[in-house]
Amino acid sequence: MCKEQRRNGEKMPQIIDGKAISAQIKDEVKEQVAALKEQGKSVCLAVIQVGTDPASSVYVGNKKKACAYVGIESLSYELPEETTQEKLLSLIAELNGKEEVNGILVQLPLPGHIDEDAVIRSIDPKKDVDGFHPQSVGALCIGQPGFVSCTPAGIIQLLKRSGIEIAGKECIVIGRSNIVGKPMALLLLRENGTVTVTHSKTKDLKDVTKRADILVVAIGKPGMITRDYVKEGAVVIDVGIHRNENNKLCGDVDFEDVAPVCSAITPVPGGVGPMTIAMLMYNCLHSVLL
């Protein structure tokens, strides 16, 4: 899982293998789903997509494939782009009421005429496997049990399963989105990290990020983070995923430039990306166990 390499005489870091760690988590979930089946309990996720955004279709397809792999039943609702908010809310109300549905996922982004916050709020918090409902976020904030947003939960697993200690470490998060930056900060705090959240208005960003023992980058700007932002020996987690001018996948971190100065780093692809779906499977399983 951890590779030490040498390139041009420079020491290369531990490459945090999200593909292997996500496969391990999915296999653990699969085993527990099978054990539940033996007790006559099944797990079922309802996946709703509104419109035909190609990236969303790929994500939704991958979520359904992961469900099939771990033995979770998935119900698919593909609604046209012009679906009204009222219609979507009424489908969610119907799924909230169905005992056999354990989790509900509405793929984001939604078309502009639909209020995303209203949709998220309409999902029963007991079925909120994305962890986006204000009740789930509030529970995370005050250290109570509840669903946790999948990408940051996956990052904690990447760190723990790669043997990287969080307690007492200077953890710096770049980005303050509701899906990644904010829950990431709360999770690192829960693990006893010393946490700073930076964003587009942060002054002297490099001076701040250079303090990080663990740097989580979720800014949405391809290749922005070069070694000038990184302390020697830091752990760097790259949440970004983009296509560069050669149509190659890349992250928010300039991997070639940063890798030689850090102690561990996630690649793109094969780092954080696969963890999101693995943690969704974990959350679906726990929707039955909770």
- Residue 198 CB neighbour total at 10 angstroms: 21
**Annotated catalytic residue within 128, 130, 252, 254:** 130
CB of 149 to ligand GUN, least distance (A): 7
The answer to whether the beta carbons of residues 277 and 22 sit under 8 Å apart is: yes
Q: For ligand GUN, which is the closer residue by CB, 123 or 205?
A: 123
Min separation Cβ 274 and ligand GUN, Å? 13
**What are the tokens at 197?**
């959240």
Q: Which of 63, 127, 169, 231 is catalytic?
A: 63
Q: Which residue has the tokens 């996630």?
A: 266
How many other CB atoms are found less than 10 A from the CB of residue 287? 21
DSSP, res 250: E
Instruction: For ligand GUN, give the closer residue by CB, 48 or 214.
Output: 48
Residue whose C-beta lies closest to ligand GUN: 108
Q: How far is the CB of 202 from ligand GUN (least distance, A)?
A: 24
Provide, rounded to whole angstroms, the least separation between the CB of residue 148 and ligand GUN.
11
Nearer to ligand GUN, 234 or 239 (CB): 239
Q: Beta strand 264-265 with 103-106: parallel, antiparallel or unpaired?
A: unpaired
63 catalytic per annotation? yes
Name which of 123 and 212 has its Cβ closer to ligand GUN.
123
* Distance of alpha carbon 95 from alpha carbon 9, whole angstroms: 58
* Phi, psi (degrees; rounded to nearest 5) at 269: -80, 175
* Binding interface with ligand GUN (CB under 6 A): 105-108, 130, 150, 276
- Lookup: tokens for 286: 């726990």
Nearer to ligand GUN, 130 or 252 (CB): 130
For the bound state, the minimum distance from the C-beta of residue 200 to ligand GUN, rounded and expressed in Å, comes to: 20
- Is 238 in a helix, a strand, or coil? strand
Contact 282, 29 (CB under 8 A): yes
Can you tell me the distance from the alpha carbon of 180 to that of 192, in angstroms, rounded to the nearest whole number? Answer: 18
Catalytic residue set: 63, 107, 130
